[in-house]
Amino acid sequence: MFNAMVVEKDAEGQTHAAVRQIGLDDLPEAEVTVAVEYSTVNYKDGLCLGSGGGLVRKYPHVPGIDFSGTVEASSDARYAPGDKVVLTGWRVGEAHWGGYAQKARVRADWLVPLPEGLSTRSAMAVGTAGFTAMLAVMALEDHGLKDLHGPVLVTGAAGGVGSVATAILAHLGYEVAAVTGRPETEGYLRELGATQIVPRADLAETVKRPLEAESWAGCIDAVGGAMLARVLGQMKYGGSVAAVGLAGGAGLPATVVPFLLRGVNLLGIDSVMQPYDNRVRAWARIARDLPMGKLEAMVQPATLADLPKLGADILKGQVKGRVVVDVN
Ligand code: NDP
C-alpha cells in the first residue's frame, strides 16, 4: 500500500480531496509503473483538486499533471527499472490518474527520460509551467526574436509560467519587462532578471486604440483576455506574442489591425499534446538555459497533505513561483 491524494465526489456532487492508502492493483492499466519522487502544482491541478473544472472524467481520481521519478516496472522496451523519467501533459492527472501518489502507472509514449543536468526535484521545479515557458521562448526565437531590439514582455510574471519565462529570457540576454498585479513581488522578479516592472493595472483596460506605441520585441502571455488584446497593439513591427494561458480570461477583445499594419504574430503554445521530439528538445534547452540557482529561488516545498490548500491558492492567483511536492 502507498499514499495517494484521492479526490472523491459525494452524492450531492461535492468533491473531497484527502491523502489515502491505495494499492498497485488500484492503478490504471499501462506499460510503465513509476516510483514517483516529486510532483508540482499547476493551475489545472487546482481545478482537479477542487471541482474538476470539466477536466476530470471519473471519480475517485488521483490528480497531479506532472511527476518525476524512477521506473519500477516496464513492459515497454524503451524503459527499464531504475530509469529516471519525467512526465508532463497527455491529460495525465485529468483523464488519467496522475502524480499525486507514491506510485503512478502510465503509457511509455507519455514519458521522457530525465534530461542530463536535472535532478528529479529540479525537473518538478520546472514542471508543465517551466516546460511551457521554454516552448514559448523557442516559438519566439523561431519567429525572429533575436533580430528585434527592445524588451520582451512577460505577463502573469510572478506565476509559474511567468517566473520561469523571466529567468530563461534574462539568462539568454533579453531585456525582460515583467507584468504583475502583486507589487510585493518586485524584488523576486528583479532577482529572476526582470529589468522593468509593469503594474497589471497599466494593461488592464480594454483596447481603445488598435495601435499604441511600439514597445515590446516579444511577449510571453500567461493572462489572455483584455491584457493580451492590449499587448497586441503595443508590439514592435514584426514582433510575436506566444499565447500560453488564460489566467485573466479566455476572451480576446482585440482588433486585427496589429496583424495587418505591424505584421504582429500571435503564436499558440500547447504543452499537453506536444510531440516527443520537441519535448526532448525543450527539456534539453531547459537543462542548458535555465539557471538552476534562480530555479531554486522560485521553489516552495510541499507535501501531499498541503495540496488541497495549494490548489485553492493557485486558482486565486496566490501562488508565487513553483511548488515542488515531495510525495514521499
Ligand atoms: P499561476 O497561477 O502560477 O500564474 C498565473 C499568474 O497570472 C498569476 O500568478 C498572476 O500573476 C497572473 N494573474 C492571475 N489572475 C490574473 C488576472 N485576473 N488578471 C491578470 N493577471 C492575472 O499559473 P501558471 O503560471 O501555472 O499558468 C498560467 C496560465 O497558463 C494558466 O492560465 C494556465 O492554465 C496556462 N497554462 C497553459 C499551458 C499550455 O500548455 N498552454 C501549460 C501551463 C499553463 P501576477 O501575480 O504576477 O500578476
pLDDT digits (tens, 9 = 90+) for 69-104: 999 999 999 999 999 999 999 999 999 999 999 999
Whether residue 284 lies inside any domain: the answer is no
* Together in a domain, 263 and 136: yes
Instruction: Compute the distance between CA of residue 322 and CA of residue 161 in angstroms, rounded to an integer.
Output: 9
* Together in a domain, 134 and 178: yes
* Together in a domain, 218 and 250: yes
Whether residue 6 lies inside any domain: the answer is yes
pLDDT digits (tens, 9 = 90+) for 163-177: 999 999 999 999 999
Give the pLDDT of residue 52.
Answer: 85
Closest C-alpha to ligand 1, atom 43? 129
* Together in a domain, 105 and 217: no
ipTM of the complex: 0.99
* Together in a domain, 217 and 100: no
Beta strand 32-40 with 66-74 is: antiparallel
* Together in a domain, 147 and 86: no
* Together in a domain, 144 and 245: yes
Ligand 1: which atom is nearest the Cα of residue 244?
41
In angstroms, what is the span from residue 323 Cα to ligand 1's centroid?
Answer: 14
- The domain that holds 40 is classified in CATH as 3.90.180.10
Whether residue 184 lies inside any domain: the answer is yes
By the 8 A CB rule, do 199 and 183 touch? yes
1: exposed, middle or buried (C-beta count within 10 Å: 0-12, 13-18, 19+)? exposed
Give the count of domains, the chain: 2
* Together in a domain, 98 and 22: yes
In angstroms, what is the span from residue 222 Cα to ligand 1's centroid?
Answer: 5
Give the pLDDT of residue 187.
Answer: 96
Beta strand 216-221 with 152-154 is: parallel
Closest C-alpha to ligand 1, atom 19? 248
Whether residue 273 lies inside any domain: the answer is no
Whether residue 181 lies inside any domain: the answer is yes
Closest C-alpha to ligand 1, atom 10? 156
In angstroms, what is the span from residue 154 Cα to ligand 1's centroid?
Answer: 11
* Together in a domain, 20 and 56: yes
- The domain that holds 162 is classified in CATH as 3.40.50.720
In angstroms, what is the span from residue 34 Cα to ligand 1's centroid?
Answer: 29
* Together in a domain, 252 and 302: no
Whether residue 109 lies inside any domain: the answer is yes
* Together in a domain, 304 and 189: no
Cβ within 8 Å of residue 213, ≥6 positions away: 234
Mutate to test the pocket of ligand 1, among 39, 185, 244 (most ligand atoms within 8 A of CB): 244
Whether residue 119 lies inside any domain: the answer is no
**Chain-centre distance for alpha carbon 6:** 22
Residues lining ligand 1, Cβ inside 6 A: 42-44, 128-129, 132, 156-162, 180-182, 185, 200, 222-223, 227, 244-248, 269-272, 314, 317, 319
Q: Which domain holds residue 229?
A: 127-268
Mutate to test the pocket of ligand 1, among 131, 192, 200, 230 (most ligand atoms within 8 A of CB): 200
Backbone angles phi, psi at 247, to 5 degrees: -60, -25
| Helix, strand, coil percentages in the chain from 3-state DSSP, rounded to 5 | 35, 30, 40
Residues of the chain with pLDDT under 70: none
Whether residue 308 lies inside any domain: the answer is yes
By the 8 A CB rule, do 252 and 277 touch? no
* Together in a domain, 137 and 250: yes
Cβ within 8 Å of residue 58, ≥6 positions away: none
